[in-house]
């Protein structure tokens, strides 16, 4: 049987189970799941609690349904508390696994804390969910909008305040832009989506964004909303608003096309996957931590560099054998061909590129008990 684990699967809106899965390390005798998503029905039982990124709401629901359908004696919960909350609860032992839209670093000691939680070993950190982040807007009468990274940065930094500003008009020849005031909406919580969005503005904004990438919005003031759903609701609720959110949850709003090279590209799963494929491993990458620094300035035709690569975070080993089997089994399904297709169908995410998927499956397949 194959054991696997994933570094960061995110699922929203599910109550967290009372089971607190603690120590990392342990030896598994059995587990379910495989490269094609198969599992041995009834071979696993128990409760598994995780949480984190709210961007993966639809995907996590699909993963839970698929895995629990094959393992009816297993109950999995995922609390979409945001990426920062997921990492914190994983490091404290409250979650057996976490979902995060940004990889672990030691900027705030999170990577060191994860290693401590995992018995001194590097944690498992693998991409499980790749999705474009959409720049969403609510501007009646403007059905199509083109923006470049510099202009987006100036809007969110408060330097462009009217929709008919010359910088926006220059990118949208022939579009009747109103003089409506622009109302940017940002996340109020510690968010991997914000981390990725500010990373894009920092690297691709041509100097217009003077702030470092951060999961916490770096500018005081403005309208803030909690979680992906909160940002979407706030943008829908106010004319002239603009925000950023996982593209899978942006229905009913205007979605901007972003300049990539000489083209303007709308967010798509295929474009996000192409941008990840041309990106390089992060400085923190190890044999079990498959983190990537997204190439935000790529000019590759069809690539969409404003994306999040969401990770599953787990331990290589768990103290309790059943816990290890549950983590292995569930995350193995998440990274399997079947799990990736389930997420693509329900959430519009991009299945992992074959070369990345093979590495991920090998890493998660080694999760076991001490």
**How many Cβ atoms sit within 10 Å of the Cβ of residue 157?**
17
123 shares a domain with 168:
no
Tens-place pLDDT, residues 208-219: 999 999 999 999
230 shares a domain with 150:
yes
Return the pLDDT at 54.
Answer: 85
230 shares a domain with 213:
yes
334 shares a domain with 298:
yes
309 shares a domain with 200:
no
- Contacts by residues 138-142 (CB-CB < 8 Å, ≥ 24 positions apart): 138/235, 138/236, 138/238, 138/239, 138/240, 138/241, 138/242, 138/253, 138/254, 139/163, 139/178, 139/180, 139/239, 139/240, 139/254, 140/239, 141/176, 141/178, 142/175, 142/176, 142/177, 142/178, 142/254
Q: What is the CATH number of the domain that holds 257?
A: 3.40.190.10
Whether residue 6 is contained in a domain is answered as no
Q: How confident is the model at residue 16 (pLDDT cuts 50, 70, 90)?
A: very low
Share above pLDDT 90 across residues of the chain, in percent, rounded to a whole number: 79
Whether residue 19 is contained in a domain is answered as no
Whether residue 2 is contained in a domain is answered as no
Element (H, E) at 131: strand 124-137
Among 176-185, 203-212, 271-280, the least confident range: 271-280
Segment 333-356 mean pLDDT: 93
Containing domain of residue 80, as a range? 46-132+272-369
Give ∠ CA 111-328-272 in degrees, rounded to 5.
65
246 shares a domain with 158:
yes
Return the pLDDT at 53.
Answer: 87
262 shares a domain with 209:
yes
128 shares a domain with 67:
yes
Q: Is 160 helix (H, G, I), strand (E, B) or coil?
A: coil
Q: Which of 205, 236, 268 is the last residue of a domain?
A: 268
| pLDDT higher than threshold 50 for residue 206 | yes
Sheet architecture: strand order including 257-260: 146-147, 257-260, 263-265
219 shares a domain with 245:
yes
Whether residue 10 is contained in a domain is answered as no
Segment 288-305 mean pLDDT: 96
256 shares a domain with 288:
no
Q: CA separation (Å) from 189 to 118, 214, 226, 322?
A: 26, 11, 6, 33
Q: Which of 268, 296, 322 is the last residue of a domain?
A: 268
Whether residue 25 is contained in a domain is answered as no
Question: For residues 335 and 364, what is the distance between their CA atoms, to the nearest angstrom?
Answer: 8
Segment 277-303 mean pLDDT: 96
276 shares a domain with 128:
yes
pTM: 0.79
Whether residue 31 is contained in a domain is answered as no
Q: Which of 234, 268, 302 is the last residue of a domain?
A: 268
| pLDDT higher than threshold 80 for residue 14 | no
Segment 164-169 mean pLDDT: 98
252 shares a domain with 173:
yes
Whether residue 149 is contained in a domain is answered as yes
Whether residue 4 is contained in a domain is answered as no
Question: For residues 360 and 127, what is the distance between their CA atoms, to the nearest angstrom?
Answer: 7
Segment 309-324 mean pLDDT: 97
Q: How many domains does the chain have?
A: 2
Tens-place pLDDT, residues 62-92: 999 999 999 999 999 999 988 999 999 999 9
């Amino acid at each position: 049987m194959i054991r696997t684990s994933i570094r960061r699967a995110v699922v929203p809106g599910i109550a967290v189970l009372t089971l607190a899965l603690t120590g990392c390390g342990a030896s598994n005798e059995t587990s379910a799941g495989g490269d094609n998503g198969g599992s041995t029905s009834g071979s696993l039982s128990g409760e598994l609690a995780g949480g984190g990124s709210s961007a993966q709401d639809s995907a996590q629901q699909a993963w839970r349904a698929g895995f629990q359908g094959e393992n009816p004696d297993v109950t999995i919960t995922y609390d979409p508390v945001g990426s920062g909350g997921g990492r914190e609860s994983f490091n404290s032992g409250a979650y057996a696994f976490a979902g995060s839209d940004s990889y672990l670093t030691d900027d705030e000691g999170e990577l060191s804390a994860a290693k401590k939680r995992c018995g001194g070993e590097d944690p498992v950190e693998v991409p499980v969910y790749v999705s474009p982040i959409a720049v969403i807007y609510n501007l009646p009468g403007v059905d199509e909008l083109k923006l470049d990274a510099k202009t987006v940065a100036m809007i969110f930094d408060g330097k462009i305040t009217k929709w008919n500003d010359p910088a926006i008009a220059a990118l949208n020849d022939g579009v009747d832009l109103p003089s409506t005031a622009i109302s940017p909406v940002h996340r109020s919580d510690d968010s991997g989506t914000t981390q990725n969005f500010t990373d894009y503005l920092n690297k691709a904004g041509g100097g217009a964004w003077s702030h470092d990438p951060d999961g916490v919005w770096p500018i005081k003031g403005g309208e803030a909303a909690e979680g992906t759903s909160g940002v979407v609701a706030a943008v829908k609720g106010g004319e002239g608003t603009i925000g950023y959110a996982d593209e899978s949850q942006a229905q009913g709003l205007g979605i901007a096309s972003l300049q990539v090279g000489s083209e303007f590209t709308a967010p798509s799963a295929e474009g996000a996957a192409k941008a990840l494929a041309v990106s390089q491993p992060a400085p923190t990458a190890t044999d079990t931590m498959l983190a990537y620094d997204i190439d935000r300035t790529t000019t590759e035709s069809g690539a969409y560099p404003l994306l999040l690569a969401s990770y599953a975070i787990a331990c290589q080993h768990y103290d309790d054998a059943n816990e290890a089997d549950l983590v292995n089994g569930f995350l193995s399904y998440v990274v399997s061909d079947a799990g990736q297709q389930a997420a693509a169908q329900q959430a519009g995410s991009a299945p992992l590129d074959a070369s990345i998927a093979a590495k991920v499956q090998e890493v998660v397949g080694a999760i076991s008990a001490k």
